Amino acid sequence: MIDGTATDAPAGPSVVRPARRRRRLLIGLAVGLAGLAAAVLLSLVFGSRVVSWDEVVGGVLAPDPNSFAEQAVATRVPRTALAILVGGALGLSGAVMQGITRNPLADPGLLGVNAGSALAVVLGISVLSIDSTGEYIWFAQAGAAGAALLVYAVGSIGRAGATPLKLAIAGAATSAALASLVSAVLLVRTDVFNVFRFWQVGGVGGADFGEMAPVLPFLGLGLVLALLSSRGLDVLALGDDVARGLGGRVGPARVLAGLAAVLLSAGAVAIAGPIGFVGLVVPHAARVFTGPGHRWLLPYSALLGAVLLVAADVVGRVINRPADVPVGIMTAVVGAPFFIWLIRRAKVREL
Amino acid sequence: MSILAAGRAVRLRRRTVVTALLGALVVALFLLALVVGDRIYGLADVLRVVLGQDVPGASFTVGRLRLPRAILAVLIGAAFGMAGTLFQTMLRNPLASPDILGIGYGSSAAAVVAIGFFGAQGATVSVVAVVAGLAVAFLLYALSWRGGVQGSRLVLIGIALGTVLLAVIQWVLTRIEVYKAAEALRWLSGSLSSAFWGDLPPLALAMAVLTPAAFVLSRRLSVLQLGDDAAAALGVRPNSTRLLLVLVAVGLISVATAAAGPVAFVAFLAGPIAGRLLPGASLLLPAAFVGAILVLGADLVGSNLLFTTFPVGVVTGAIGAPYLLWLIARSNRNGGRL
Amino acid sequence: MTVHRSLVTEALTVGYDDRVVVQELTLAIPAGRISVIVGANACGKSTLLRAMARLLPPRSGAVLLDGRSIAERPTREVAKILGLLPQTPVAPDDIAVADLVARGRYPHRSFLRPWTQEDEAAVAEALRMTDVLDLADRSVDELSGGQRQRVWIAMALAQGTDVLLLDEPTTFLDVAHQIEVLDLLTDLNRQKGTTIVMVLHDLNLAARYADELFAVKDGRLYLSGAPADVVTAPMVRDVFGMDARIVADDVSGTPLVLPIGRHHSRV
């Protein structure tokens, strides 16, 4: 490795990291941060009620109990924070999953994680009467991990390993199977269905900081593990055989990264419900700025994921005023065309 | 040459026997579905009702309720079975059935919107569902077109479209009252409980057109299976054949979905089960029978054997999930492709 | 029995998406002979073969079969005259050898016409020629690579065409099976007069088995003719970018290419 760590960057022009690349990274950072600032601002301003600048400042710093506008802004603060949190987690976990599976189409939703969480949560609500985020999280995690393992096991069977096509089909099949079990429960329990139908569209409305708190440790741990696994993912990207040849430990690297991806995506599902396509789309956008190396790709994916989800939430609030279109619907409607474009562009080989 | 003919005769006999047994099983389950229910009628009474004679009590229960339901079960089972096996054979992948790819969601989404927002019922829902299903098929084909349609691209774009349509369905479910949503959920699970005579003619008519089309296409499909280049060399145009196959299969799925909702996994299960029984054969007719057997059997189980009545789709879904796992285990063992 | 067909490309240009692969290429396939197309990787030789089999529409120019543009003739009619064995055909799961070979009869059958004696005879003949008659009832999945390739050739033979195109029929086979397949194709050519056109990677095998050799470079025809005239040191240098010495093959009398790497030159 000529340039293994950040500290030994040579003084002169580097062979592996030319100035052009660095400029791209900076541009990406600027775009990401500016986008996030703009999205957050819009998220505070827009809603069923549009507010003025003073009211935004007032609402964020010290909401005046007598001002409806400032109260409205105050409720948008946790919502925006939640969107940042969830978007970041989904973007990051998507990038990690794409790295582990060496598959540009990997995404928590497509890989059955959402369906696994949904089934576990439904069982929790109906059988054990759980009703708070703090309880959802354990069920969501377990369901997500189980489904992800199952899908990956199915998708990597056969000589060619986990090809994009096999993984996508295995994810769709597992999701269909789990969904049918979910509806078996819901058909008998209309009360559970009445809670579940709102959870399953995925949304960040009605957020409060108290509900977010129990999930934070999971997301934090996931973030740390994800960033730790970036070097392992870079080696994995070359294929298992080459990775072993370079001295990489394929199994542990994959387990560490997989744990990170599941913690992040299941944490997001637990607080915001299943939100699709963020994990799929964001890493591709991030790669434009960072290239394929995971050291930069991972944090950029988190940043852009937050931008995307906050923006999608704002659009969902504005598009059908005064009602909200849940952010999970918005990401599907925006993400699917991108996904299709990606497929049309790529030369996806036959099995 | 005689060796050749003898081998072919053995295979042909096996095919004929197994297919006939499957057909007999369809008939047996059909009759069982007429006999069994809250009240059990004798086979003699049931046959008299079927032949149009008036039997007190049985004429209503069997003639008005059970008979249309059983016919509906056979028709949609056959439709799902044929559509599934057309897709699986065309895409050379047992997991690539239209229900798994979410292609059927086009019909479902349209039907849920029609039921939930416009209070549509009966024939209107069917028409909307079929039109939407075909529209999704065209869209899928158009989006997959890039100087030709590759099977894998069709699968992936199908999954993407299915995901969007599912989001639409879920969103609609949050926008309507809970009792309507529960009704829609029941429909979305696939149910025969609202079957009545009036539903049958449009379905039967559509299938009378689509089934022969499927059989004509299955010959071209058997050549397309050899790969695009080999098929083209044998005089089959891969792209136009695929377009026709997609249209016929989605047509079958749509009319069946319109009649009974998306009954889970029947399209997915029928072909592979038929293929296990008849390796290497053309599967269209056996798969139609297996589909009918699955729906009839699952409906019998769902309405009679469980602690509460479940719609047929929940039962087929519960069968489908373990089968999926079994498929995985089997492929794992022989290292085959999935 | 076999009719001699003329197969000609006229200023043929073919490509994928926005990339032109074959450029204004004109050649005439000699009827009743074995023609082999050679060239470096990605020179367009497979594309040329696929275009000759009407699998790719020409951008400009044409492929003429018996003087008529192949693109304008009904595809089934062409399939009775011209067959192609692609590089990687797909065998359906669990299919029996005889059933797979029988699919080669597709262009001769119609929905209403049942399986005839003629179909049966063609399949039996194809199985016999390729020496897989004993395997007729076995599943294709169980066969070895060499056997499987013979079965595919049998399917192409069952099609009963006067012209047979093959895209690298020897890939993935060991050297003994390569010779076996090429001998089989030669038998077919000598016994039935079938016109054979194939793409081969191995220049020495190509020189041995070809009556006519076509060297393709960058999508254009570089040189064609008898192997002894085509396989020369300058051709190998220009087309394959490699120095070589050409000697006579003691076994067949055809030219034999001895590549000269950077480490082996004794000159």
B17 touches chain C (CB under 8 A): no
Residues of B in contact with C160 (CB under 8 A): none
Share of chain A above pLDDT 70, in %: 87
A212 has pLDDT over 90: no
The CATH number that domain A81-343 falls under is: 1.10.3470.10
Average pLDDT over every residue of A313-337: 82
B269 touches chain A (CB under 8 A): no
Q: Which residues contact C154 (CB under 8 A, 6 or more apart)?
A: C97, C101, C104, C126, C127, C129, C130, C132
Residues of B in contact with C90 (CB under 8 A): 92, 225-227, 230
Give CA–CA dist B297/B289, Å, rounded: 12
Under the phi-then-psi rule, with left for phi > 0, alpha for psi from -120 to 50, and beta for the rest, what region is C21? alpha
Closest approach of C90 to chain B, Cα-based (Å): 5
A147 touches chain B (CB under 8 A): no
Under the phi-then-psi rule, with left for phi > 0, alpha for psi from -120 to 50, and beta for the rest, what region is B102? left
Which H or E run includes B153? helix B151-175
Q: Which residues contact A186 (CB under 8 A, 6 or more apart)?
A: A122, A192, A193, A196, B185
Q: Which residues of chain B have pLDDT under 50?
A: 1, 332-338
Tally of residues, chain A: 351
Asked if B186 contacts B311 with a C-beta cutoff of 8 angstroms, the reply is yes
Phi, psi of B251 (to 5 degrees): -60, -45
Q: Which residues contact C89 (CB under 8 A, 6 or more apart)?
A: B226, B227, B229, B230, C152
C255 has pLDDT over 90: yes
Query: What pLDDT does residue B32 have?
Result: 93
Residues of B in contact with A174 (CB under 8 A): 324
Over residues B180-190, the pLDDT tens digits come to: 788 788 778 88
Total-model pTM: 0.80
CB count, 10 Å around CB of C210? Answer: 26
Query: How many degrees, rounded to 5, is the angle at CA C67 between CA C61 and CA C68?
Result: 70
Grouping H, G, I as helix, E, B as strand and the rest as coil, residue B256 is helix
B14 touches chain C (CB under 8 A): no
Tally of residues, chain B: 338
Contact flag C99-B237 (C-beta cutoff 8 Å): no
Asked if B313 contacts B49 with a C-beta cutoff of 8 angstroms, the reply is no
Measured on CA atoms in the order C115, C119, C124, C127, is the torsion positive or negative? negative
Give CA–CA dist C239/C219, Å, rounded: 11
- B 46-85 → A contacts, CB under 8 A: none
Give CA–CA dist C221/C216, Å, rounded: 5
Contact flag B225-C88 (C-beta cutoff 8 Å): no
Q: What is the count of residue pairs from B and C with beta carbons less than 8 Å apart?
A: 110
Whole-angstrom Cα Rg for chain B: 20
Contact flag C99-B225 (C-beta cutoff 8 Å): no
Long-range residue pairs from B32-36, CB within 8 A, at least 24 positions apart, any chain: B32/B296, B32/B300, B33/B66, B33/B69, B33/B70, B33/B73, B33/B296, B33/B299, B33/B300, B34/B62, B34/B66, B34/B67, B34/B70, B36/B300, B36/B304
Contacts of A among chains (3+ CB pairs under 8 A):
B
Residues of C in contact with B234 (CB under 8 A): 79, 83, 103-104, 106-107, 159
Which H or E run includes C196? strand C195-199
Residue A13 burial (10 A CB sphere; 0-12, 13-18, 19+): exposed
Beta partners for residue C248, in sequence order: C255
Contact flag C120-B225 (C-beta cutoff 8 Å): no
Residue of C nearest to B272 (CA): C93
Which H or E run includes C245? strand C244-248
- C 110-129 → B contacts, CB under 8 A: 111, 120-121, 123-124, 127
C-alpha closest to that of B271 among A158, C93, A178: C93
Give CA–CA dist A251/B241, Å, rounded: 44
Considering only CB atoms, A183 lies closest to which of B95, B314, B321, namely B314
End-to-end CA distance of chain C: 53
Give CA–CA dist A175/A118, Å, rounded: 10
Q: Which residues contact A252 (CB under 8 A, 6 or more apart)?
A: A232
Please tell me the number of Cα atoms within 13 Å of A59 on its side-chain side: 23
Considering only CB atoms, C106 lies closest to which of B4, B236, B280, namely B236
C-alpha closest to that of B298 among B188, B193, B187: B193
B267 touches chain A (CB under 8 A): no
Residue of C nearest to B282 (CA): C95
C82 has pLDDT over 80: yes
Asked if B161 contacts B151 with a C-beta cutoff of 8 angstroms, the reply is no
Residue in B101, B141, B155, B156 to test binding to A, most A beta-carbons within 10 Å: B156
What are the domain boundaries of chain A? 81-343
Query: What pLDDT does residue B1 have?
Result: 47
CB count, 10 Å around CB of C167? Answer: 23
Whole-angstrom Cα Rg for chain A: 21
- Interface ipTM: 0.82
Identity of residue C12: L
Asked if C126 contacts B256 with a C-beta cutoff of 8 angstroms, the reply is no
Query: What pLDDT does residue C10 have?
Result: 94
C229 touches chain B (CB under 8 A): no
Largest CA distance in chain B: 70
Query: What pLDDT does residue A225 have?
Result: 94
Which H or E run includes A309? helix A294-319
Give CA–CA dist C109/C130, Å, rounded: 23
Query: What pLDDT does residue B336 have?
Result: 41
Query: What pLDDT does residue C155 have?
Result: 92
Question: Higher model confidence: residue C125 or residue B324?
Answer: C125
Contacts of C among chains (3+ CB pairs under 8 A):
B
Quickly name the fold that domain B71-333 has.
Answer: ABC transporter involved in vitamin B12 uptake, BtuC (1.10.3470)
Average pLDDT over every residue of C170-195: 91
Considering only CB atoms, B338 lies closest to which of A158, A180, A333, namely A158
Return the minimum-mean-pLDDT range out of A12-21, A245-254, B31-40. Answer: A12-21
Share of chain C above pLDDT 70, in %: 98
C267 has pLDDT over 60: no
Residue in A113, A151, A154 to test binding to B, most B beta-carbons within 10 Å: A154
Query: What pLDDT does residue A163 have?
Result: 63
Q: Which residues contact C226 (CB under 8 A, 6 or more apart)?
A: C211, C212, C213
Residues of B in contact with C94 (CB under 8 A): 275, 279-280
What are the domain boundaries of chain B? 71-333
Residues of B in contact with A173 (CB under 8 A): 95, 100, 268, 324
- β-strand C163-167 against C82-85: which pairing, if any? parallel
Query: What pLDDT does residue B335 have?
Result: 41
Give CA–CA dist C134/C172, Å, rounded: 23
Closest approach of C138 to chain B, Cα-based (Å): 10
Query: What pLDDT does residue C151 have?
Result: 93
Measured on CA atoms in the order B155, B227, B320, B328, is the torsion positive or negative? negative
C-alpha closest to that of C167 among B233, A123, B77: B233
Give CA–CA dist B36/B34, Å, rounded: 6
Over residues A109-133, the pLDDT tens digits come to: 767 888 888 889 888 888 887 777 6
Residue of B nearest to A150 (CA): B325
Residues of B in contact with A164 (CB under 8 A): 156
Residue owning tokens 């619907």: A329
**Tokens, residue C143:** 């066969």
Query: What pLDDT does residue C265 have?
Result: 65
A349 touches chain B (CB under 8 A): yes
Query: What pLDDT does residue B337 have?
Result: 43
Residues of B in contact with C111 (CB under 8 A): 216, 219
Considering only CB atoms, B230 lies closest to which of C89, C96, C121, namely C89
C-alpha closest to that of C211 among C35, C45, C27: C35
Residues of A in contact with B173 (CB under 8 A): 197
Contact flag A174-B324 (C-beta cutoff 8 Å): yes
Residues of B in contact with C118 (CB under 8 A): none
C-alpha closest to that of A254 among A156, A136, A143, A330: A156
Asked if B68 contacts B199 with a C-beta cutoff of 8 angstroms, the reply is yes
Return the minimum-mean-pLDDT range out of A233-247, B253-267, C20-34. Answer: A233-247
Phi, psi of C182 (to 5 degrees): -70, -35
Give CA–CA dist A12/C68, Å, rounded: 66
Residue of A nearest to B327 (CA): A154
Residue in C56, C90, C138, C197 to test binding to B, most B beta-carbons within 10 Å: C90
Residue of A nearest to B92 (CA): A351
Asked if B296 contacts B33 with a C-beta cutoff of 8 angstroms, the reply is yes
Closest approach of B152 to chain A, Cα-based (Å): 6
Query: What pLDDT does residue C123 have?
Result: 92
Average pLDDT over every residue of C191-198: 94
Q: How confident is the model at residue A165 (pLDDT cuts 50, 70, 90)?
A: low
Considering only CB atoms, A349 lies closest to which of B152, B155, B268, namely B152
Give CA–CA dist B111/B259, Å, rounded: 11
Average pLDDT over every residue of A138-159: 80
Q: Which residues contact B50 (CB under 8 A, 6 or more apart)?
A: B34, B62, B67
Over residues A75-102, the pLDDT tens digits come to: 788 889 999 999 999 999 999 988 887 7
Identity of residue C128: R
A114 touches chain B (CB under 8 A): no
Indicate the average pLDDT of chain A.
79
C-alpha closest to that of A118 among A217, A199, A37: A199
Average pLDDT over every residue of A325-334: 84
Q: Which residues contact B275 (CB under 8 A, 6 or more apart)?
A: B94, B283, C93, C94
Residues of B in contact with A193 (CB under 8 A): 178, 181-182, 185
